[in-house]
Structure formats: C-alpha cells, structure tokens
Chain A
Amino acid sequence: MDRFKTFQDMFKRYRRPGDIVFSVVFLVFSLFMLSQIGEQTVWKKGTKLFAQPSFWPAVSLGFMSFFAILHLIGSACSPRIEGRWSEVLLWFRSLEYVAWFLVYVAAVPVIGYLLATIIFAVLLSFRLGYFSLKMGLIAALTGIIVVLLFKTFLQVKVPGGQIYEYLPDGWRSFMLIYF
C-alpha cells in the first residue's frame, strides 16, 4: 500500500476551514507592526546596521509580512472549505476556558493553592459534564496530588493564600510552606 510517493507528500500539511480568516488577521497584524517600526524602535546614529536596535525587528517583520502575503494568496487561490465560521466560533469558545484559568490564577493568592486547585478541578470537571460523585472525587484527588507533587515535594514558588493568615500560628507556617 503506497500512502505517499514523494518526499513532499509525506510532509505536506493540508488547509482546514478558517485558514483564510487566520491568514488575513495575521497579515494585518504583521503590517501593523511593521508600520510601527519608526515609533517603537530607535535608530541610533553612528551605529552599524547590524547592531541597530531596529535591525532584527525590521528583518523579522519584513519576513513575517512577506510570508503572510504569500500564505494569504495561497489561501485565497485554494478551493473554499465548508465550515469556516463554525471553526472561528470554536476558537472563540476557548475564551471560556481562558476565563476559567484566569479566575483560578486570581484565586490562588487569596484562598491558597490547595483550596483553589481542588475547587477549580471539581467545578471545571462538573462544567465539562462529569456529574457523578466518583468523577468529582477523582477531580478533587487530582488537585490534591498536583499540589502535593509541586508545592509539597518539589517546593515550587507558589505564594501562600491570604486566608492562611487567619489560621493558628503552627498551622499557618505549615500551610505556607507545604500548601
């Protein structure tokens, strides 16, 4: 069974719906950034070209815009694939999880890493459709394991929660160090 015949076939990637939307947005972004080169970078007199602060931004934005134009032409000349806007909608659906993530980030310094992680894991798994008690417990356990592994065992830098201040002295330092 010959699934690919040439080197190109093996590595070829195929367009998906929504490609042209991405191409347009990326090109607009590239051209906007390129238009800002005079404002956002400095040209120092008496400095060689290769050492100019604006040299690498100019080179990278030049290539970005050049390839983005070619990519857009490629997209525009290819047959349309159905489902463009439903795909774009799916990209926007991910923003809900960005919000979940940022609320979690904001909650950690307030209610502490352990509590925030358990609540985040359980609530998010409910949101995802895992309504059973078993999955809720597994989610909570996953949260505890993550905290034990990273904060208690690996001692990564995550600050203690503000609510730890209300704990009795011995407990407070214990929670601050390990959870």
Chain B
Amino acid sequence: MQNLIDGLQMLAQWQVVLALLVGSVGGVIIGAIPGVGAAVAIAILLPATFSMEPIVGLTMLLGIYGSSMYGGAIPAILINTPGTAVNALTTYDGYPMTKRGQAARALSLAYSASFFGGVFAIICLIVLSPVLAMIAPHFGSREIFLAALLGIILVVLAHRGQIFAAGMLAAFGVFINTIGLEPVKYTKRYTFDQGWLSSGVDLIVVVLGIFAISQAFALLVGKNESPDARPVSGSLLGGFKELLGHKRIASASASFGVVMGMIPGVGEFTAQFMSYTYAKKTSKNPELFGDGSPEGLIASEAANNAVPGAAMIPLLALGIPGEALTAMMLSVFYVHNVIPGPQLFQNHMDFVMALYIAMLLLNVIVLIFLMFSTNLLTRIIQIPTRFLGMVILTLSFVGVYSLRNSATDCAIAAGFGVFGLVLKRLNLPVVPIILGMVLGGIMEVKLRSAMARVKTPFDFIDRPIAAILFGLIVLILALHVRTVIREHKERLSEAEIDHDMHDSQQG
C-alpha cells in the first residue's frame, strides 16, 4: 500500500502529467496515421527523453506505446487499413461493419474492448507485482542468460515461414552489438581500423534507421496516396453496454494478451490469434467471424491492448525486453543508470507502481480523448503518404543528431534506413535485429559472469529456475520440430492463403 502511495506521489508532478497527456494523445494520433506507428514515434523521441527524469521520459513513451493501438483501430475499421500492424485483425470484422453502416458501433466496440484489455492487464500486473518481487531475486546471471536465450529463440520461431530469415537477422543483431571496443579485455572487434567504429554501433542509431528512416524511405519511394476516411456519426458510448454482453470473450482475450505479453518474443499476434480462435470456436455465430462479428472485433482489440502492460513484466522484473518497443525503452533506463531487473522490484517498487498507475491513467485519458476527437482524427488520416515520408525524415534527423551531434551517426542511420527499406519491401522482419542487439549484449555479459562459478555443464542448470528455463527451451524447440512436421503434412495450397493479412504484418 505504501508503494502505491509513493508511486502516486511520484506521478504528482506537472512534468509527469504533461508527459502523460502528450504521450497518450500523441500516441492515438500517431497510431491513427497509417505508416507511422508507435515504433517510429518512440524511436524519434528516445533521445529527447534522455534529458528528462526517468519517470517523465518513460511515462511519455509508455503513453505512446499504450495508446497507439486505440488510434490504429480507426483506419482499420473505417478504411480497411490498419493504423498499426497489430490492428490488422481488426480490419476483418471492423471494416465489414462499416460497410453495413455500423461504423460508430464498430469504433465504440473497439474503444471499449481496448480499454477493457488495457485496464485488465494493468490490474493483473498490480496484483501480480508482489509475486514478481518474490520470484525476481532468484534470477541470477545464468537464469537471466537463459531467459534472454529463450527470448531470442521465441522471437525467431514466432516468424513462422521466415524462420531462416529471422534467425539470420537476429544473429546479425547480436553481431553488430559486438562491434567496437569490448569492455573486458579492451580489444577491438570488427573495427577495420576505422575510428568511427571503435565506440560500436549505437542501438538508438540502428533503431532510428531501421524503424523511422526506413519508413520515411518506403513512403518516399512509394506511390502517393491520401487515405479517404469519412467522418462517423452516432454515439461512441454504446460499445460499453454491448461489451457487457460479451464479458467472457473480453476477459478471455485480455487474459491471452496478458499471458502472451509476458512471454518475450511472442506478443500481440499470437495473443490475437489465440483469442480470435477461441472466440470463434465458442461463438453462437461463428459464421459471422471475418464478416463483421462484434465478438471478433472484441477478441482482436482486447487482446492487443492487454499486451503493452504485460510486456513491461519481463522488462521491469528481469531487464529482458520481449519486443522492439520495450527494447527501446530499456535504453531510457540505461541512460539514467536505473537498471531494470530483480533489484528494481526489490528496491524501487514505488517506481514500478508509478509506471502502472501511469498506464492505467493513460487508458482513461485516451478514452476521453477519443470520445471527442474521432472525427478530427479521420481528417488527420488523410495526410498524403509521400508528404508524411518527408515529415518522418525531418523528425528522424533530430532523433539521430541530438544523440551526440554526429554526422557519422546520421550516415550510419541512413545506411540502416536503406537496409530497413529492403527488409520491408521483402516482407522480412526487422524486430529480430533489435532484439538480437539487446539480448545479445545481455547474454554476453551474463554468460561471462555465470561461467565463473560453473565447473561442469550441469552446474549451469542446477538451480530450479535455471532448470525450468532450460526445460522450456528444449520443450519449445521439440514442439517446434513436431509442429513443422505436422503442418507440412496439413499445409494449405498457395491459393487458399490470405496474402493481404500477412503482407500487413510488417515488423
């Protein structure tokens, strides 16, 4: 209880309140514009948050992270174009509802399901926090190494059908993290005697290149479009009443979101797939799914909005990010010398509580904002895409340059921008690179310190949590092999598969 009060006090500063407002409202707007997304916005804002207090900077980034999916539902429902990648499933049932003249109902349902998912996840976390605080200290170097290894394996396996590509890109991420002067023996690694490579390749520079600049390039070289979203009329409050009629679906979907959000490398898509399948299997009207089913819409939006809250668990409790956005947030912690991990839960529970409360508040702010501004947002969506590319490029400059006023950083970021564009065009995933960089760094440090006390290989897994994590890794790899064999036998032909769905799954 004391932690809760301390957390509230931490939030009661005007800078935090302003950051929360800017983050949550900005996140909705950014999420609503197809082609921007939370990753681009967070990448650009990261260096600007370094000069802020950790709680202020993180509140703003969390605001963007937690609210972008609300905004992303608007174009998904109105124009069949997901605002963010995780709203792709929302188009399945949201857009058919719009075509039937039920746009306001669909939006209202999406907002209320998102709100329910978001709040449900945070309540789960607040309840779970004491348990986490109890378990987290049992994570030593070898457990954190194994958890990071599990995260890398999961992120590679989650990219089904592109596992080889995801594997090589994750390994590429680990590799670029090793470039430069290593801190133990002070030897140079892959610097090719170039001074600018001695300090290594900065994560923020890579993130800005791969997420922001590449998106700008993709928009600049692409066709000019101006999405046409019509304003909606009708009450946006009715969704809450309708949601009450689907309590079971909403709770189950939010639970899938929480569980999947906690597992590194898995995230929104798996949560949505599971909740959507569950909703369809247990529905009285399964034939409506994909053709304007309110239950399908609830399953998709409640699940994806429950993920950001849950994704903070491995980040805060173990210092292990499960996906790209939390990986970016990890750098904010490092810059301020606040190292997330077991000690954060033990010694700074008030800080953790403050973050949870901020997330709870952002859901309320976003909902109120959306009630009044949905029609305004339908006009913002109409920004021509190539113009948007110019704006993102302008913003990317300040993101990279403000880091350390280095033109070399800008050139490296532009290089990664071209690389990211190629990956986007080829429909190859970029997230494994970022997770490879972050988790690779963690694995290197933790393995070195763990091996100092390990005599035989079995010593590595002689503690219960290490043994469980090792068992999980073996089990996941074994299950994967089994699934590949089974699905190879049951595979669909090319013509039967919905390509649009997959093409929209960028990143």
Q: Which A residues are closer than 8 A to B by beta carbons?
A: 1-16, 18-19, 22, 26, 30, 33, 36, 40-42, 44, 47-48, 50-51, 53-54, 56-57, 59-64, 66-68, 70-71, 74, 87, 90-91, 93-95, 97-98, 100-102, 104-106, 108, 117, 120-121, 124-125, 128-130, 135, 138-139, 142-143, 146, 150-151, 154-159
Q: Is the CB of B387 within 8 A of A70?
A: no
Can you pick out 6 interface pairs between chain A and chain B where the beta carbons lie within 8 Å of each other? A13-B428, A16-B427, A53-B182, A98-B217, A150-B398, A158-B405
Which of B171, B220, B410, B427 is most buried by chain A, counting CB atoms within 10 A of its CB?
B171
Does residue B105 face the partner (Cβ distance < 8 Å to A)? no
With A7-B160, A13-B505, A63-B171 known as contacts, the answer to whether A157 contacts B187 (CB < 8 A) is no
Q: Is the CB of B213 within 8 A of A101?
A: yes
With A13-B429, A14-B161, A105-B401 known as contacts, the answer to whether A50 contacts B184 (CB < 8 A) is no
Q: Which residues of A contact B407 (CB under 8 A)?
A: 102, 105-106
Does residue B476 face the partner (Cβ distance < 8 Å to A)? no
Q: Which residues of A contact B168 (CB under 8 A)?
A: 26, 30, 63-64, 67-68, 71
The answer for the CA separation of A104 and B401 in the assembled complex, in Å, is 11
Q: Is the CB of B497 within 8 A of A91?
A: no
Which B148-171 residues have a C-beta within 8 angstroms of A?
158-162, 164-165, 167-168, 170-171
Closest-CB distance, B316 to chain A (whole angstroms): 26
User: How many of B's residues come within 8 Å of A, CB to CB?
Assistant: 89
Residue of B nearest to A106 (CB): B407
The answer for the CA separation of A173 and B178 in the assembled complex, in Å, is 42
With A1-B291, A129-B224 known as contacts, the answer to whether A10 contacts B417 (CB < 8 A) is no
Which DSSP category, helix, strand, loop or mixed, fits chain A's interface? helix
Q: Which residues of B contact A13 (CB under 8 A)?
A: 159-162, 165, 427-429, 502, 505
The answer for the CA separation of A158 and B402 in the assembled complex, in Å, is 6
Q: Is the CB of B172 within 8 A of A64?
A: yes
Does residue B425 face the partner (Cβ distance < 8 Å to A)? yes
Q: Is the CB of A71 within 8 A of B165?
A: yes
With A13-B502, A93-B221 known as contacts, the answer to whether A60 contacts B451 (CB < 8 A) is no
**CB within 8 A of A156: which of B47, B221, B289, B410?**
B47
The answer for the CA separation of A41 and B188 in the assembled complex, in Å, is 6
Closest-CB distance, B246 to chain A (whole angstroms): 20
Q: Is the CB of A105 within 8 A of B410?
A: yes
Q: Is the CB of A1 within 8 A of B290?
A: yes
Q: Is the CB of A51 within 8 A of B448?
A: yes
Q: Is the CB of B390 within 8 A of A108?
A: no
Closest-CB distance, B221 to chain A (whole angstroms): 5
Which DSSP category, helix, strand, loop or mixed, fits chain B's interface? helix
Q: Is the CB of B189 within 8 A of A54?
A: yes
Q: Which residues of A contact B491 (CB under 8 A)?
A: 8
**CB within 8 A of A121: which of B178, B394, B427, B444?**
B394
Q: Is the CB of B405 within 8 A of A157?
A: yes
Q: Is the CB of A121 within 8 A of B451?
A: no
Q: Which residues of A contact B425 (CB under 8 A)?
A: 16, 18, 87, 90-91
The answer for the CA separation of A63 and B149 in the assembled complex, in Å, is 14
The answer for the CA separation of A53 and B266 in the assembled complex, in Å, is 31
Q: Which B residues are closer than 8 A to A by beta carbons?
A: 47-48, 51, 92, 158-162, 164-165, 167-168, 170-172, 174-175, 178, 182, 184-185, 187-192, 213, 216-217, 220-221, 224, 269, 273, 289-291, 384, 386-387, 389-391, 393-398, 401-402, 404-405, 407, 410-411, 414-415, 417-418, 421-422, 425-429, 436, 440, 443-444, 447-448, 451, 483-484, 487, 490-492, 497-499, 501-503, 505
Q: Which residues of A contact B289 (CB under 8 A)?
A: 1
Residue of A nearest to B217 (CB): A94
Q: Is the CB of A156 within 8 A of B187?
A: no
The answer for the CA separation of A18 and B427 in the assembled complex, in Å, is 11
Closest-CB distance, A156 to chain B (whole angstroms): 4
The answer for the CA separation of A66 and B165 in the assembled complex, in Å, is 11
Besides A5-B492, A11-B160, A101-B414, 12 new A-B residue pairs in contact (Cβ under 8 A), listed by A number: A2-B290, A8-B160, A15-B426, A30-B172, A41-B189, A62-B171, A67-B171, A74-B164, A101-B417, A104-B394, A117-B394, A158-B398
**CB within 8 A of A47: which of B185, B429, B440, B484?**
B185
Closest-CB distance, B19 to chain A (whole angstroms): 11
Q: Is the CB of A57 within 8 A of B189?
A: yes
Q: Is the CB of B418 within 8 A of A91?
A: yes
**CB within 8 A of B175: which of A22, A60, A94?**
A60
Residue of A nearest to B274 (CB): A7
Closest-CB distance, B278 to chain A (whole angstroms): 13
Q: Is the CB of B386 within 8 A of A128?
A: yes
Q: Is the CB of B178 within 8 A of A94?
A: no
Q: Is the CB of B291 within 8 A of A98?
A: no
Q: Which residues of B contact A106 (CB under 8 A)?
A: 407
The answer for the CA separation of A172 and B404 in the assembled complex, in Å, is 23
Closest-CB distance, A103 to chain B (whole angstroms): 11
**CB within 8 A of B178: which of A60, A100, A156?**
A60
Residue of A nearest to B273 (CB): A10
Q: Which residues of A contact B187 (CB under 8 A)?
A: 41-42, 44, 53
